[in-house]
């Protein structure tokens, strides 16, 4: 272990050189650590994103196939027949371990009887003349009511409510125990206009003419952004009433009992969306039904995180490689300066590997000090870098998701949000509006979550990882620099 002693004496005696090497190695390790910290933070954030940003899978009628059938059929009636999802099947699918919760939705329209619906400029007339006129005829009725009845199993599982864009302001939401009742949750604007409060009863008339009395159990407030985004093309969101899905079925007619327009499954792990879809497809008739996922919230959080992660990964490797090269060059120069010393050691019969081991031991001592310095500095570099990255990433993804949001929103049942699909009457453009609203909500949550979750604290594990990188860097650079030593002949060094 004599080389250790030599290394110690050398590091102690050559203070200037030791200081220089410490600074260089600290700088290299600081950036490596910053990269590691950001990488770890992004990994943790991605884990958290799985839990906080749920993904949903919607089971609904296969519109694509239904349209195909409609276009190919020779019959003049041109009536679109959409299959209803059986609640029993839905419950069977929901019993899988992939599922955290699920929401059964049935939407239809009705007319206000004891009160007035909110009037908006062109709501109904634009609906009938809207694009995709063919789909206008609903499966249940030909005329359209002025109220949208959203039958759900629970409002808490509706994405508009869970994302925070709709809020219950008084009373309560619809719960699964409301199944079979005539309980209703209405919008604040509608309640104000008609002096309705929690506990009041209201009367509505189905499109086929049957009258129903509903009991108001809660009032919700639709956020202003959603009313502007949907208001232009769709009936005012204030005219949406949330009831138990069983009531919506009752409105549509007796043959709809035990069915649903669609069932939205909230996944416990968004990363397993595709696996679940495969599983669900094995249980349904895919000709009649389709399952589609909406993990845009998850994806919109995951994409920037993955970008940050891969960027941090590049930092780590680039700095490590560049650092190795820089350090190797410095050590090469250092070793040239120490040729005589090496020559004496070799002439004393010291083994070459022990000469190299001495250099390694010297660098190791320097590395320990550098690790401490980098540990202190890396936190600051890391947090500064990650702040920069997060602000960059969230702005870029906000723009990309809103554009993709438009395209997926236009696809059948892509919205997944009952507010986007106004019963069977939903025009494709209306759907796209719903899609848009969803993603703006998603990206705003993702940015706030990103910045709060990318905490770049230095822990033992990342320090250990840094130590590993440090060891590899000094090992490789000494090996590179030592190729020269291995060839040195003591006579050539000592006898000039």
Partner 1 sequence: MLETKDIGYWYDHQANALYRNVNLQFAEGKTYAIVGSSGSGKTTFLSLIAGLDKPSEGEVLYNGRAINKIGLTNYRNKYVSIVFQSYNLFTYMSALDNVLTAMAITNSQHKGDKEYAIDMLSKIGIDQDMAKKNVQRLSGGQQQRVAIVRAMCCDAKVVVADEPTGNLDETNTRETIELFQELAHAQGKCVIIVTHEPEVAKMCDETIELKNKEFTTKSAIKA
Q: Which residues sit at the interface with partner 1, rule CB under 8 A?
A: 2, 5-6, 9-10, 13-14, 340-341, 343-351, 489-491, 494-495
Q: Which is nearer to partner 1, 1 or 460 (CB)?
A: 1
Q: Which is nearer to partner 1, 7 or 222 (CB)?
A: 7
Q: Which is nearer to partner 1, 14 or 288 (CB)?
A: 14
Q: Which is nearer to partner 1, 317 or 353 (CB)?
A: 353
Burial (CB < 10 A; 0-12, 13-18, 19+), residue 165, is: buried
CA distance 60 to 56: 13
Q: Which is nearer to partner 1, 2 or 143 (CB)?
A: 2
Query: Whole-number minimum distance, CB 372 to partner 1, in Å?
Result: 24
Q: Which is nearer to partner 1, 5 or 213 (CB)?
A: 5
Burial (CB < 10 A; 0-12, 13-18, 19+), residue 443, is: buried
CB proximity list for 150: less than 8 A, separation 6 or greater: 105, 107, 158, 240, 241, 242, 243, 248, 418, 419
Cβ atoms of residues 168 and 220 within 8 Å = yes
Query: Whole-number minimum distance, CB 487 to partner 1, in Å?
Result: 14
Of 32, 40, 36, 33, residue with least CA distance to 318 = 32
CB proximity list for 134: less than 8 A, separation 6 or greater: 70, 78, 80
Q: Which is nearer to partner 1, 305 or 363 (CB)?
A: 363
Structure token digits, residue 153: 């199993």
* Number of C-beta neighbours around residue 41 at 10 A: 26
Query: Whole-number minimum distance, CB 341 to partner 1, in Å?
Result: 6
Cβ atoms of residues 273 and 280 within 8 Å = no
Q: What is the 3-state secondary structure (H, E, C) of 451-479?
A: HHHCCCCCCHHHHHHHHHHHHHHHHHHHH
Query: Whole-number minimum distance, CB 492 to partner 1, in Å?
Result: 9
Query: Whole-number minimum distance, CB 488 to partner 1, in Å?
Result: 12
Query: Whole-number minimum distance, CB 383 to partner 1, in Å?
Result: 40
CB proximity list for 101: less than 8 A, separation 6 or greater: 154, 157, 265, 266
**Residue 145 three-state SS:** coil
Query: Whole-number minimum distance, CB 368 to partner 1, in Å?
Result: 20
Measure Cα distances from 346 to 82, 329, 363, 480 in Å.
89, 23, 21, 20
Cβ atoms of residues 464 and 314 within 8 Å = no
Q: Which is nearer to partner 1, 15 or 76 (CB)?
A: 15
Query: Whole-number minimum distance, CB 367 to partner 1, in Å?
Result: 19
- Say which residue the tokens 């202190």 belong to: 376
Q: Which is nearer to partner 1, 3 or 242 (CB)?
A: 3
Q: Which is nearer to partner 1, 29 or 331 (CB)?
A: 331
Query: Whole-number minimum distance, CB 349 to partner 1, in Å?
Result: 2
Bridge-based pairing of strands 259-260 and 166-171 is unpaired
Q: Which is nearer to partner 1, 318 or 344 (CB)?
A: 344
Query: Whole-number minimum distance, CB 21 to partner 1, in Å?
Result: 14
Query: Whole-number minimum distance, CB 5 to partner 1, in Å?
Result: 7
Measure Cα distances from 48 to 65, 316, 388, 431 in Å.
38, 23, 21, 30
């Amino acid at each position: 272990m004599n080389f250790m002693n030599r290394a110690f004496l050398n590091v102690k005696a050559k203070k200037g050189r030791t200081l220089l090497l410490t600074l260089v190695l600290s700088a290299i390790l600081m950036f490596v650590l910053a990269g590691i910290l950001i990488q770890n933070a992004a990994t943790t954030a991605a884990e958290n994103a799985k839990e906080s940003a749920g993904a949903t899978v919607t089971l609904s009628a296969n519109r694509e196939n239904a349209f195909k059938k409609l276009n190919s059929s020779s019959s003049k009636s041109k009536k679109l027949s959409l299959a209803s999802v059986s609640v029993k099947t839905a419950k069977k699918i929901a019993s899988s371990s992939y599922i955290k919760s699920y929401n059964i939705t049935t939407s239809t329209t009705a007319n206000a009887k004891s009160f007035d619906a909110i009037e908006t400029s062109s709501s109904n007339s634009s609906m009938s003349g809207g694009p995709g006129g063919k789909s206008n005829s609903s499966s249940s009725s030909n005329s359209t009511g002025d109220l949208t009845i959203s039958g759900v199993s629970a409002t808490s599982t509706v994405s508009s409510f869970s994302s925070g864009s709709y809020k219950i302001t008084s009373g309560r939401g619809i719960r699964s125990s409301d199944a079979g009742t005539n309980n209703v949750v209405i919008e604040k604007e509608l309640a104000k206009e008609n002096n309705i409060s929690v506990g009041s009863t209201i009367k509505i008339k189905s499109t086929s003419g049957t009258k129903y009395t509903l009991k108001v159990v809660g009032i919700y407030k639709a956020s202003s952004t959603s009313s502007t985004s949907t208001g232009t093309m769709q009936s005012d969101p204030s005219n949406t009433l949330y009831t138990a899905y069983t009531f919506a079925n009752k409105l549509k007619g007796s043959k709809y009992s035990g069915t649903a327009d669609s069932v939205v499954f909230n996944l416990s792990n968004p990363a397993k969306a595709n696996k679940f879809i495969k599983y669900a497809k094995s249980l349904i008739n895919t000709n009649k039904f389709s399952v589609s996922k909406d993990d845009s919230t998850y994806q919109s959080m995951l994409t920037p995180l993955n970008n940050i992660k891969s960027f941090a990964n590049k930092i780590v490797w680039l700095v490590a490689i560049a650092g190795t090269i820089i350090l190797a060059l410095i050590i090469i120069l250092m070793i040239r300066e120490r040729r005589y010393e090496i020559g004496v050691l070799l002439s004393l019969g010291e083994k070459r590997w022990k000469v190299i081991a001495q250099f390694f031991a010297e660098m190791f001592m320097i590395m320990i000090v550098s690790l401490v310095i980098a540990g202190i500095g890396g936190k600051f570099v890391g947090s500064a870098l990650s702040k920069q990255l997060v602000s960059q990433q969230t702005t870029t993804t906000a723009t990309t998701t809103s554009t993709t949001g438009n395209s997926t929103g236009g696809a059948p049942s892509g919205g997944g949000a009952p507010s986007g699909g106004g019963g069977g009457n939903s025009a494709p453009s209306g759907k796209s509006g719903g899609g848009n609203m969803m993603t703006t909500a998603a990206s705003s949550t993702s940015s706030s979550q990103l910045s709060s979750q990318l905490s770049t604290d230095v822990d033992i594990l990342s320090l250990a990882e840094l130590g590993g990188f440090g060891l590899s860097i000094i090992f490789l650079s000494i090996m590179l620099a030592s190729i020269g030593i291995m060839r040195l002949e003591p006579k050539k060094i000592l006898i000039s």
